[in-house]
Amino acid sequence: MVIIIKKSLVTLSVIAGFLGLGSLAASADTYTVQSGDTVANIAASHNDTINGIASRNNLSNVNLIFVGQQLEVGQNTTSNNTQAAATTTATTAQTQSTPVASTTTNNTSASYNNTNTNTAAQSTNTASSNTANTSSSSSNYGTGSHADVLSQMEARTGVSASTWNYIINRESNWQSSVRNSTSGAYGLFQNMHISGGSVQDQIDAAVSLYNQQGMAAWSM
């Protein structure tokens, strides 16, 4: 009886070891941010998630990335083959040991293990669903994405999207409702000629200011 218990403990250790090693298996690619990119678009094109990219690259604001910035993307989770090998090893070890417990006890253990497996699977599916919903909602920015704002500004002024991205980062850090307490400048472009409005209103006002003063309005 004592010998069989020790074999069971060894089998459980083998299973835990395989699962522990499997959880470390991962691969990632490096992607260089291009003009007009967003974290959402990068995640979609590399089979990744916004939260995954943000966590892996220590992004405090997923709406703030720069042209030329390098990001780790496309990291995959544990290989199913590793988990399958661990399960097969555990099953073989149990088959080779001499059974002592009654059939009723074995059936009870199997039922308990199946219940735990199903509960873990349900928890994983729920977490994945929540992550997808969070990623979807965080990819929107006011009335449009960063790429939409930059695309409009480039098309309407002829100034590159990367230049406008630099200006917005410098002036407001992409905070569309920020106000300068000293000058009264407002919004993404810190325009002193407006005191409120949507992102689209701020784009229109910035284009109007550019048409009047050019890049000198932002000391460029």
Task: Answer whether residue 192 shows pLDDT above 80.
Answer: yes
Domain ranges for the chain, please list them: 1-25+77-100, 27-75+101-139, 146-218
Give the Å distances, CA to CA, from 90 to 12, 72, 96, 105, 175. 7, 35, 10, 18, 54
Provide the pLDDT for residue 178: 95
Task: Answer whether residue 54 shows pLDDT above 80.
Answer: yes
CA distance 94 to 125: 30
CA distance 99 to 90: 15
The top-level CATH class assigned to 27-75+101-139 is alpha beta
pLDDT, tens only, 137-168: 333 344 458 999 999 999 999 999 999 999 99
Place of tokens 């939260």: 51
Provide the pLDDT for residue 60: 86
Place of tokens 């059939």: 103
pLDDT, tens only, 82-121: 444 444 444 444 445 444 444 444 554 445 455 555 555 5
pTM for the model: 0.38
Our separate counts of H helices and E strands in the chain read 8, 2
